[in-house]
Amino acid sequence: MGEVGVEVVEAVLPELIKKESINFVIAQGENVTDGRGLSVKDLRRLQKTHIDFLTGGNWTPYQDELWPLLKDDNEPVIAPANYLEMEYGKGFKYVTKDNKKILVISLLGRIVGKDSDKKMANPLQKIDSILQEQVDVGKDAIVVNLHGDYSSEKVIIGHYLDGRVSLVVGDHWHVPTADARVLPKGTAHITDVGMCGALNASLGIKLESVIPRWRDGIQTRNLLESDGPKQFNAVLVDVLGQNKAGNIKQIQIEL
């Protein structure tokens, strides 16, 4: 979330990769550049922290310069597959690292904050279509990210895909949920992974810029918090195959 989030990743991730012997890193990148989308410059900066791939959300189209990269299969970033208002790629890509082929898929929930009135394809139907289309492609892991407001929807898609993909990660709340687990048929899942950025804030936004909105009904501008303690939230998953994980654990670091 914003510059602070990038700084947190720079401070934590390289050492965490060494400590935990992490092979592959995926991040949600839709709030990176001033909280709105992802610039090419910030994408390259995050790649230097050893992030291998970035998924998207409703803010992904905000940075026009990213559009060509979203459509380029060789660039490590995607936008949601079921967002119909704009055309900026198919919403999934393959990445190969350490001789392992990983399919990464990005989806939007049916209700996503300010964009709840925008037209979106049904995410469950869309993921069915993608998985069927890619069924004959050899792969070692399938990772699905659902960016959405409803906890129920994020729980449902986890169970819906249980035994069909390696991992389903929900996000958008910026607040981690306490339900990381391997589901009955072997798929790792968490309702919301949380965020990287300011800790004493409202989803990374200065409290003084949003309290009047809730207390007095005043329309205020979101101001990113840059001071005070920071947080790093993630999940670490042991992937056993394209439809199975050995375990999942949450990583929550304050600094």
Give the tens place of pLDDT for each residue, 59-107.
999 999 999 999 999 999 999 999 876 678 999 999 999 999 999 999 9
Is 39:73 a contact under the CB 8 Å cutoff? Answer: no
Identity of residue 198: A
Q: What is the CATH number of the domain that holds 41?
A: 3.60.21.10
- Summarize the confidence of residues 105-117 as an average pLDDT: 81
Is 153:146 a contact under the CB 8 Å cutoff? Answer: yes
Using CB atoms within 10 A of its CB, is residue 28 exposed (0-12), middle (13-18) or buried (19+)?
Answer: buried
Counting the structural domains of the chain, the total is 1
Token pair, residue 88, equals 């900026």
- Distance (Å, whole) CA 199 – CA 30: 19
Q: What is the pLDDT of residue 119?
A: 75
pLDDT of 255 > 90? The answer is: yes
- Distance (Å, whole) CA 3 – CA 108: 24
Q: Which of 30, 33, 31 is nearest to 42 (CA)?
A: 33
Neighbours of 36 (CB within 10 A): 15
In this predicted model, what pLDDT tens digit does every residue of 180-194 receive, in sequence order?
999 999 999 999 999
Q: What percent of the chain has pLDDT over 70?
A: 98
- Domain of residue 194 covers 2-254
- Distance (Å, whole) CA 147 – CA 150: 9
